[in-house]
């Protein structure tokens, strides 16, 4: 097990578009374990591989209160989305900022598990929002992209200043 380093906005590497996972081997299993460890330690309710500089279509979430519902989605696709939900979002790659974002409130997702088996789930509320937030990361998109340029630039400046002090 290992903790992975989480990239921070505005690191351009966060803009990389992830590629499909094709090899479901032991190395992938190890990587998924490291993703869960990194997400729980952060702590966060989700983590996309893009955030740890691995540009493959893989994400993990756990939106449960007791942190006992780990879910891994490999090569996820949204089959259908309905409704709208506006919720305050945060991101481990944009630490300290929470802003409202409007997304689908109900999604149907097809993905593969760590063994490569295809499964489908239906998600609503926080879980639906979280899956969409993580799938955005896999396309190089961040929640700050939905904010006004003024808000986004303020966040960028403050984080850059903070990063230079480290
Ligand atoms: O921990 C996280 N919380 C969160 C809250 C509202 C909407 C989305 C999220 S995901 C975020 C972890 C993260 O950055 N995942 O990419
Ligand atoms: Ni995020």
Q: How far is CA 89 from CA 50, 66, 76, 107, in A?
A: 18, 20, 21, 17
Q: Summarize pLDDT for 57-100 with one digit per residue, the tens.
A: 999 999 999 999 999 999 999 999 999 999 999 999 999 999 99
Residue nearest to atom 1 of ligand 1 (CA): 44
Could you give the strand order of the β-sheet that contains 58-61, starting from the edge strand earlier in sequence? Answer: 46-48, 58-61, 71-82, 106-112, 118-124
How many CA atoms lie less than 13 Å away from 117 in the CB half-sphere? Answer: 5
Beta bridge partners of 72: 60
pTM of the predicted model over 0.95: yes
For residue 83, the Cα-to-chain-centroid distance in whole angstroms is 21
Residue nearest to atom 13 of ligand 1 (CA): 91
Query: What angle is formed at CA 57 by the lines to CA 12 and CA 13, rounded to 5 degrees?
Result: 10
Q: Summarize pLDDT for 125-144 with one digit per residue, the tens.
A: 999 999 999 999 999 999 99
Q: Which residues are catalytic?
A: 134
Pair 28, 20: CB distance under 8 Å = no
What integer pLDDT is reported at residue 64 of this predicted model?
Answer: 98
Q: How many residues does the chain have?
A: 166
Which ligand minimizes its atom distance to the CA of 44? Answer: 1
């Amino acid at each position: 097990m290992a903790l992975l380093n989480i990239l921070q906005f505005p690191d351009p590497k966060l803009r990389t578009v992830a590629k499909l996972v094709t090899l479901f081997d032991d190395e992938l299993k190890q990587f998924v374990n490291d993703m869960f460890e990194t997400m729980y330690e952060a702590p966060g309710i989700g983590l996309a591989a893009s955030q740890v500089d691995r540009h493959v279509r893989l994400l993990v979430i756990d939106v449960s209160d007791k942190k006992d519902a780990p879910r891994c989605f490999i090569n996820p696709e949204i089959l259908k989305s309905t409704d709208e939900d506006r919720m305050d979002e945060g991101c481990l790659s944009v630490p300290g900022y929470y802003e409202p974002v409007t997304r689908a409130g109900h999604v149907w997702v097809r993905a593969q598990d760590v063994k490569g088996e295809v499964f489908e789930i239906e998600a609503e509320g926080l879980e639906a929002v979280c899956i969409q937030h993580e799938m955005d990361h896999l396309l190089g998109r961040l929640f700050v992209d939905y904010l006004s340029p003024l808000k986004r630039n303020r966040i960028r400046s403050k984080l850059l200043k903070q990063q230079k002090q480290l």
